[in-house]
Amino acid sequence: MTDLAPLLGHPVRRPGPDDHLPVLAVLDTWWGGLGGEEGSRQRALLLPKLMFQHFTRSSFLVGDDDRVIAFLIGFLSPSRPAESYIHFVGVDPAERGRGLGAALYERFFAHSRENGRSVVRAITSPVNKGSHAFHTRMGFVTEPGPKEFEGLPVQPDYDGPGLDRLSFRKDL
């Protein structure tokens, strides 16, 4: 199914259940083993198959059947009618720095606006400096928190005991 306009010359489509394992297979390489074995386990658990079954209409996969080049898993909040949420994004290291991540975000912002959303949220791990830089560049504000990690405001225990997060917000 290729119903979407290409991004930087690459085909784009909605992900589906068959994309689950191919996406899981790239995570460790793409995240450069960030956080060691525990980081690897947490990332895999953040992308259960349900994301590829129930969140597909607001998500994007760049690539074809043979190669995943980039993906964005996001959704329109069912509980907060003004908000949408970017859950996970990744770009093949070989394709980074060319605007693909930004283009995927712009696609998601457009989808959010079309559906009446005025706020986009996302979170990331405090150790993921690249993610913080990228989100800041994309116009997200890092929300104030009661704790700091290397100068960044942190939400302690956000995702459970010991699982601190940076919380990003962008007004569309």
Ligand X SMILES: CC(C)(COP(=O)(O)OP(=O)(O)OC[C@H]1O[C@@H](n2cnc3c(N)ncnc32)[C@H](O)[C@@H]1OP(=O)(O)O)[C@@H](O)C(=O)NCCC(=O)NCCS
Shortest CB 127 distance to ligand X, Å: 10
> Between 46 and 81, whose beta carbon lies closer to ligand X?
46
Shortest CB 3 distance to ligand X, Å: 23
- Which residues, numbered 4-33, are part of the site for ligand X (CB under 6 A)? 30-31
Q: How many residues bind ligand X, per CB under 6 A? A: 20
Do the beta carbons of residue 99 and residue 134 sit within 8 Å?
A: no
* Residue with smallest beta-carbon separation from ligand X: 101
Shortest CB 98 distance to ligand X, Å: 5
Determine if 128 is a binding residue for ligand X (CB under 6 A): yes
35 CB neighbour count, 10 Å cutoff: 15
> Between 52 and 88, whose beta carbon lies closer to ligand X?
88
Shortest CB 171 distance to ligand X, Å: 19
- Which residues, numbered 68-107, are part of the site for ligand X (CB under 6 A)? 88-91, 96-102
> Between 1 and 94, whose beta carbon lies closer to ligand X?
94
What is the rounded distance in angstroms from the CA atom of residue 85 to the CA atom of residue 168? 10
> Between 81 and 136, whose beta carbon lies closer to ligand X?
136
Residues that bind ligand X (CB under 6 A): 30-31, 88-91, 96-102, 124, 128, 130-131, 133-134, 137
